[in-house]
A and B are shown apart, each in its own frame.
Chain A
């Protein structure tokens, strides 16, 4: 019987061609990257260094040209597209800088939609869980408000509730406080950590803010992941 992997995330010899710049091929390359369950990691580095590409590859939204991307022991790079979509829905939650809420739907419905495709929460439990989560992030009074009627801080709180609604093991956050004023950013960051703790998620957080990054137990500098070299 094979031994259960100790790492939640394990990338090995991953390469992905990103394009051509100045006549040279730009490539993302990562020899080895491991994340243990319930780790809180800040991914830092300048723009274009490969932080977001790393998150995209972990989420399965971007496929590597070569290498292994093992999430919970499954090489998601080799899953059929439909299976990879479902895997993402079950095991990975997202928080975006620009919130990415669905405008035609209320806060409650946005959170319910976060559980719609993963299939980890039974249908009849989705609305109560969404309500519970929104109350947990202080939005019990805005359940039926559309995103356009919420403040930016409230929108990000809805996005956090949606990200953890399907009980994912991994939470990916790309500059979650980038669009917020400092006070709101701080509150949202605290909320993110607290929700992540409460739901038992592993967190990979991309940020330019080194002070914010320092508040997480682990920081990974992504400089050098993306290189330009070789002829296209």
Chain B
């Protein structure tokens, strides 16, 4: 399995995400934002957390216009897998690969703690191993994770079971407690929590490991 992790100026979870992919035996390439193409044969692209371009203009807005992001959008258009975490989720909404937007947290505070989540669908390469309804805990660390979408988008997301994760506690004011959403073809996931920070016992929590384990099965079939 081949994975690529995009690196923007200000990305700071890129190496953690690479370790996540390596934990399931993937060969990982780090790809700089000025590159115009992804390595040949990449199965999944990770868009990491951090503060790309200093969050200037809007979180993820400048990264969404980077040369490598055009290659990312083309990869998703070909049915490729994409995992965007935290700032990566913001980048994916800014490109339009995922619907909605992420605004400043409702209470205006930067939230940095481990929160409760419920897995809302097992029908994705990212959540299969958890199973629907699984209660997990993952770290969050963000200032702009307040998911918003209009009622039409919410109706569609719910009808198509594309809300992958919901918070089980008040975290950032997200509409319907949405923490992560899937694309129409279910191969692009964006989420605010950090599964890559919870894959080894040394991190104090291994609830994120099942997300990477899920990918092993799905990507073995690619």
A and B co-occur in one complex? no
